[in-house]
Amino acid sequence: MKIFIASLIAIPIFTHAQEVDASDILFLKIQELEGEIANLRSELESQGYLLEKLLSEEIDQESTAINNDNSPSSKTEIFRFEGINDSKSIDEVYDEGIAHLNEKNYKNAKQSFNYLVDNFDDQEKIPLSLFWLGEISLLESNLEESEQFFQRLAANFPDHWRTPLAHKKMGDILMMSGELGAAKIKYQYVIQSFPENSASSLALQLLENME
């Protein structure tokens, strides 16, 4: 009889313990999801800082190129596209886009870079314009459009110096979209394909954080 009474007492205790365990598991899952969302938001917010850093790097490279062009043996030529009725050179349109970026006027920057991509032919400024278009779309949270710009850059200009970073950016977009497995594969591709590029170090760091 005592055993029967004890078993009756134990039943609600056991049931309550199960409920507590289930609640704990649910709470932990919610915390995990909140953590992932916070990480994605942080990644997106950091794009603004990264954009400024990339712009700074580009200005340094432009300065180096200008100094080289000013050497006695160099010849300065302005290419003007002959296929359309246009008075602006490639450099003028590109510089206009960069100026808008520095002013955080992303709408006009996007218009300048799109205009350049659609109307000119240049092996340096076209891929750079595609890269900035991808960056702007990323800042606008338009992940699909951003991925398309980075894919165009990587597919059409595989040897350009911005291509490794474009691949890494595609990994970022996959991660933001919740496709963690695909993001890992893309980061591994960057590390294996461009081991000497700074994009490889960034991809490796992100892979380690995902473990």
**What confidence tens digit (pLDDT) does each residue in 98-124 have?**
999 999 999 999 999 999 999 998 999
Does residue 133 belong to any structural domain of this protein?
Answer: no
| Tens digit of each residue's pLDDT (9 = 90 or more) over 156-195 | 999 999 999 999 999 999 999 999 999 999 999 999 999 9
CA gap 19, 1 in Å, rounded: 28
Does residue 194 belong to any structural domain of this protein?
Answer: no
Does residue 1 belong to any structural domain of this protein?
Answer: yes
Q: How far, CA to CA in Å, does 112 sit from each of 98, 105, 208, 211?
A: 9, 11, 38, 40
Does residue 47 belong to any structural domain of this protein?
Answer: no
- The Cβ of residue 96 has, within 10 Å, a number of other Cβ atoms equal to 18
Does residue 94 belong to any structural domain of this protein?
Answer: no
Least confident of 19-33, 43-57, 67-81: 67-81
Averaged pLDDT for residues 21-33: 52
CA gap 81, 158 in Å, rounded: 24
Domain count, the chain: 1
pTM summary value: 0.66
Does residue 58 belong to any structural domain of this protein?
Answer: no
Domain range for 22: 1-36
Contact between residue 136 and residue 110 where contact means Cβ atoms under 8 Å apart = yes
Q: How far, CA to CA in Å, does 143 sit from each of 3, 15, 44, 84?
A: 64, 46, 10, 32
Instruction: Specify the pLDDT at position 107.
Output: 96
Does residue 11 belong to any structural domain of this protein?
Answer: yes
Does residue 158 belong to any structural domain of this protein?
Answer: no
